[in-house]
Amino acid sequence: MNVIKVSANSRTAAVAGAIAGVMREHRYAEVQSIGAGAVNQAVKAIILAKGYLVNDGIDIICVPNLLMLRLTAKFGPLSN
Amino acid sequence: MNVIKVSANSRTAAVAGAIAGVMREHRYAEVQSIGAGAVNQAVKAIILAKGYLVNDGIDIICVPNLLMLRLTAKFGPLSN
């Protein structure tokens, strides 16, 4: 299942639509965001998605968690 | 039950302690925040509080929601 990645510039309605779609299919969705602006958009999108799913009889609860990113550096020309 | 109000400058550990305390007593806590920075601190505090409560056998799930603020203006001298 694809993780829904949210940035500070993501439109909440679009993210909420994605969350609702994944929730309908899997009854579970994973949302990732980095930074305060992105976390804020994600929370607002979850609230919106909750509304989208009311008629499907699906209620959203969320379990926030921290994500450890493993950053790797590659040295070489930019085209790599 | 008191609502836990979180600002962008709130210390996550302090907020998490407050959430954990209220959760232990009521099995329910209400957290309010306004603005991206504050929402971010609140989400981080919930994640921390989840850790604080593991040994109590309490698991946190959260249900984000929008809050309608009713702003009222009073006209008169500042001392009022």
pLDDT of residue A39: 97
Residues of B in contact with A61 (CB under 8 A): 61-63
In chain B, what residues touch A54 (CB-CB under 8 Å)? Answer: none
- Report the candidate in B57, B60, B66 with the shortest Cα–Cα distance to residue B16: B60
Which residues 49-78 in chain B show a CB within 8 A of chain A?
50, 60-66
Query: What letter does residue A23 receive in the DSSP assignment?
Result: H
Length of chain A: 80
Kindly report which listed range (A25-29, A43-47, A75-79, B10-14) carries the lowest average pLDDT score. Answer: A75-79
In the predicted structure, residue B65 carries a pLDDT above the cut 60: yes
CB contact, 8 Å: A37 with chain B?
Answer: yes
pTM assigned to the model: 0.85
Please state the ipTM of this predicted complex.
0.82
- The span from the CA of B18 to the CA of A36, in Å, is 21
- Which of A46, A73, A74, A71 has the alpha carbon at shortest distance from A61? A46
* pLDDT at residue A15 tops 90: yes
Q: Which residue of B has its CA nearest to A46?
A: B64
User: B49, B60 in Cβ contact below 8 A?
Assistant: yes
Q: Which of A62, A37, A64, A34 is nearest to A48 (CA)?
A: A62
pLDDT score, position A79: 61
> Above 70 in pLDDT, residue A24?
yes
Give the Cβ contact number of residue B24 at 10 Å.
13
Predicted local distance difference test score (pLDDT) of residue A16? 98
Q: Please tell me whether residue B73 adopts helix, strand or coil conformation.
A: coil
CA distance B72 to chain A (A): 25
CB contact under 8 A, B61 and A65: no
| Farthest CA pair distance, chain B | 53
Reduced to 3 states (helix: H, G, I; strand: E, B; else coil), residue B62 is: strand
